[in-house]
Homo-oligomer: A and B are copies of this chain.
Amino acid sequence: MNLPRIAIDAMGGDEGVRVMVEGAAMARRQHDGFNFLLVGDRERIERALENHPGMAGASEILHCEDVISGDEQPSKAIRRAKTTSMGLAVNAVKEGKAGAAVSAGNTGALMAMSKIALRTMPGIDRPALAALLPTLEPHDVVMLDLGANTEADARNLVQFAVMGAAYSRIVNGFEKPTVRLLNIGTEEIKGTEALRDAAARLSEASAREEGALALQFDGFVESDKINRGETHVVVTDGFSGNIALKAIEGSARFVTDLLRQAFTSSLRSKIGFLVSRPATELLRHHLDPNNHNGAVFLGLNGVVVKSHGSATAKGVAHAVNVAARLLEDDLTQRIAQDLAELGEDALRNNAAAGSASNGDGASA
């Protein structure tokens, strides 16, 4: 885990080897001291490295030709863990040959392979997929789970809260990130029993030891507030998280599509667009997914970062930087410490909690 080396699945993603290598090289210029294990077709990697001589000196190549395709079923993909660039990159983390793995390939396959190879860390029942979303504030918001699990019980949600807060502390530098549970209202009686139970546990833990806990629990948040930036970490089950994330992405694209239509609807508006170009470029920059790229599988014995399939080299660099920071600050160790501080009450299993907190959930 201490090896400052990142395994790169050079074959995943829509853009292929060139973009992955270029992105890693860009990240390396910002994060000196890291070196790379580039997994994929040796010839193509060597060709891509010709443009990045500094990077070539800091890289080892692990040759393989087999690739997991974008539409491959995870259940089939895992059988090819030993022969594919994705599987070998993850395996390098398992074997201690790298501290983190970055892939732009099939999310489901990467998740399944990572879970099998790295296993969930002690104290965590299920890993979660976390991503960074842009906000009105200078910092991104961390949202999880985005689809690693279709369902989550109260205990899972509490663990997600701890993992998301640890991630936010490292990536955004908040000492005590504010955490909220995604719900369909902010009143205590709203939502599912799992949500109310998780809220009660987190409230108790927050109140119990003022200052000790590495997060501040602020109750529920509705999905129209995610991008406001008032909350640092938004916690939810994988189904709702996936629905919210894609709704946000789709709506942002919808509005910018309408805007493009509007700006090209007449000569006058075309001129207006050209004049205000610097302003719309600012907007484009702020919303550019490449500036927020890098979803992380939290809760495993090792760091695995998913780069968006269509990310540019700049986007890949962002994802590699996220991996580097999580490695430097030892994410797994942080999560373990925070879980210990949270205490057993918040992490008791649901069977016991169910009978103890029936009725309590709403009033706590």
User: With an 8 A cutoff between CB atoms, is A223 at the interface?
Assistant: yes
Q: Is the CB of B247 within 8 A of A224?
A: yes
When distances are taken between beta carbons in the complex, the residues of chain B under 8 Å from A242 are 184, 223
A296–B2 CA distance with the chains assembled, in angstroms:
58
Chain A contact residues: helix, strand, loop or mixed: helix
User: With an 8 A cutoff between CB atoms, is A207 at the interface?
Assistant: no
Given known A-B contacts A225-B250, A239-B191, A275 and B268 have beta carbons under 8 A apart: yes
User: With an 8 A cutoff between CB atoms, is A249 at the interface?
Assistant: yes
Which residue of the partner chain, among B244, B254, B256, contacts A244 with CB atoms under 8 Å? B244
Q: Is the CB of A224 within 8 A of B239?
A: no
When distances are taken between beta carbons in the complex, the residues of chain B under 8 Å from A182 are 243
Q: Is the CB of B269 within 8 A of A279?
A: yes
When distances are taken between beta carbons in the complex, the residues of chain B under 8 Å from A272 are 272-277, 279
Given known A-B contacts A244-B243, A279-B263, A224 and B238 have beta carbons under 8 A apart: no
Q: Is the CB of A246 within 8 A of B222?
A: yes
A202–B316 CA distance with the chains assembled, in angstroms:
42
- Give the residues from 190 to 227 in chain A that come closer than 8 angstroms, CB to CB, to chain B: 191-192, 222-227
User: With an 8 A cutoff between CB atoms, is A127 at the interface?
Assistant: no
When distances are taken between beta carbons in the complex, the residues of chain B under 8 Å from A287 are 255, 258
User: With an 8 A cutoff between CB atoms, is A51 at the interface?
Assistant: no
Q: Is the CB of B239 within 8 A of A227?
A: no
User: With an 8 A cutoff between CB atoms, is A262 at the interface?
Assistant: yes
Q: Top 5 nearest A-B pairs by Cβ distance?
A: A272-B276, A224-B250, A272-B275, A269-B279, A247-B247
A residues in contact (CB < 8 Å) with B: 135-136, 147, 150-151, 182, 184, 191-192, 222-228, 238-240, 242-244, 246-259, 262-263, 265-266, 268-269, 271-280, 282-283, 286-287
Other CB < 8 Å A-B pairs besides A228-B250, A269-B275, 6 of them? A136-B254, A243-B244, A259-B283, A269-B276, A272-B273, A272-B275
